[in-house]
Structure formats: C-alpha cells, structure tokens
Amino acid sequence: MLSIFDWIRLSDNGAELMATLEYFKENKPDIFPEEKAIAGPVTLMNRPCSRCWIYPCSDNSGTDSIFCKTCHEIVARSRQMGRKSRYASVVWANVNLLPKNLNSRKGFYATSNVFGSYILEPSHFLLVLNRYKIKDWLQELLLYHGGSIKGLLQIFPTCGSTNRGNMNDILARAIQQDARFPMNMLRVRFFSSPFQLFAAHKREKSGMLTFEIMEFLDLLQMAFIYRSLLRPEDQQLVKELISLENPNERRFQWGRFSGSLKPEARDMLDSWNIPMWTKHQIILLYELMEYVEYASS
C-alpha cells in the first residue's frame, strides 16, 4: 500500500501536489487494501493505473478509467487548482521542532492561505501556502518559537511537468539537500524558480540563496516597502538606470529620476543607497517583490 508521502511524491505538478494534500486531509490512504493491488500479469483486462502503476483502473467508464480511484480523484481535483498553483509556494522543512498549530491546523494553518500541509515526522514537514503570505507565516513562527526553532526551510515555487523535471523531482531534490547545515539556527533557502534546486551552488555563490531567518524577513520587508512606495513604472526605471554603463550618465539620470519621485520614495532610495547595490542584490529584491503584497498608502 502506498503511504500518504508516497502519494505526495507521485505529484507531476503543483496542482496535483495540492490536490493530493487536500485529498488526504479528508481521506485515509487505506482505502485500497494490499490484495486489491494488481498482482497478476498485466493484460488488457487487468491494467494497472497509468499514474501510480500499482492499483487497478477504476471501473469508471470514460476517459479517466486509465486511473485508479485515488489517482482519478487527485487528477480531477488538480484541474480545479490551476489558479491557486500559480501563486503557491512550497516549503520543505527540516527542523528541530514542529511549528505550534501545524498539527492541529489552527492559527495561520486554519486560514485559506494554507493550500495544504503534511507532517512526515516530528522533524520534517511540507507546507504549500499563498506566496504573498510567507512573511506572515514566518512572523507567526517566530512569535511562537523565537530562537528555539532551528533548522532549514527551503522555499520554492510549484512547477508543471517539463523536460527538466516535474514536481516530484523538485521535492526529491529538496529532501536530498535538507541536512546540509548544522541545526544551530533557523535558515531559509529561497529559490525563485523550482529548477534552481538542480543548481543550488550557482545561486549560493551569488549570495541569493541561504539566509538567517531574521535577515530573510528583513529582505521581505524591504521588498514590501519598495513595492508599496514605488509605482511599477518607476520600479522598471530603477532597474534600467542602475544598469547604465557610463557612471556620469547614470549619476545624471539618477538625479533627474530621484527628483521626480514622492519624498517618501526618494528617502527610501537614498537611505538604501540602491545605486551602489550589486546586480544580484537588485535581482533578489525584484524576485522578493513577487512574494509580498502591495500596500496602498
């Protein structure tokens, strides 16, 4: 019989992952006893499910009869998840203690911002959440546990099935990499694309991957302020101006641009000294803007 974690790892894409977590929130995996698994030779009448390759196809007539009952349910539910999966983030955690309320699904975990969760063991859990609420989730985590929670939170987007890999491959890579740091503080590894998990060292080298928890929260807060104070067209302009090769032209254009801004936006850019930032700092700021909400002033 497949365990819930086995079913999770059958997910081809983010929508299937969320559908699997939702399905097993309501159902137990023991609906198929061992003897119902395909045992004999595969024949035309005795085909295994084309998704899990273990259980027999369900009796449903129609196109979905290539799936067993559970896969049929998961695939059908996943078709309703398209919109959600576009702004979903996955967290794979290896920590010294489980977050308060995760098991009982209270507090943050009771809100519609959590799209699914699974506790593998007291040190490992999986969480799929609204990516705009990562800051709120981390703040709640620290509120309850402060410095006593230690370990690694790997944060990455969901993905579709591509020739570079699927959701299952991404999860497997996250699991493989989760014990690479000592359990002496809480760290975040932030991947802005799921496939960065296959080349984590590149992102690490650029200083865009691993952060101490407070440092990561500060970066999210900066992205939040930046997104809220600068209009989208000005955000684009900043990117263009700081990439100008000629320093004199850059200084001149920057002065003109800065003079056209509202005082609070100008003060922010001045105090952060953005023109002196490295290319990778800027890229990270713009990536994190996709993970924070816009606050209208």
Q: Which residues bind Zn ion (CB under 5 A)?
A: 49, 51-52, 55, 68, 71
Q: Give the integer Cα–Cα distance in Å for 18 and 71.
A: 13
- 3-state SS record for 211-259: EEHHHHHHHHHHHHHHHHHCCHHHHHHHHHHHCCCCHHHHHHHHHHHHH
Q: Please, which residue, 51 or 227, has the CB nearer to Zn ion? A: 51
- Residue 7: its H or E element: helix 4-8
Q: Please, which residue, 47 or 84, has the CB nearer to Zn ion? A: 47
Q: Please, which residue, 4 or 223, has the CB nearer to Zn ion? A: 4
**Which of 79, 66, 105 lies closest to 18, judged by CA?**
79
- 3-state SS record for 49-61: CCCCCCCECCCCC
Q: Please, which residue, 71 or 153, has the CB nearer to Zn ion? A: 71
Residue 120, exposed/middle/buried by CB under 10 A (0-12, 13-18, 19+)? middle
CB of 118 to Zn ion, least distance (A): 19
Q: Please, which residue, 28 or 201, has the CB nearer to Zn ion? A: 28
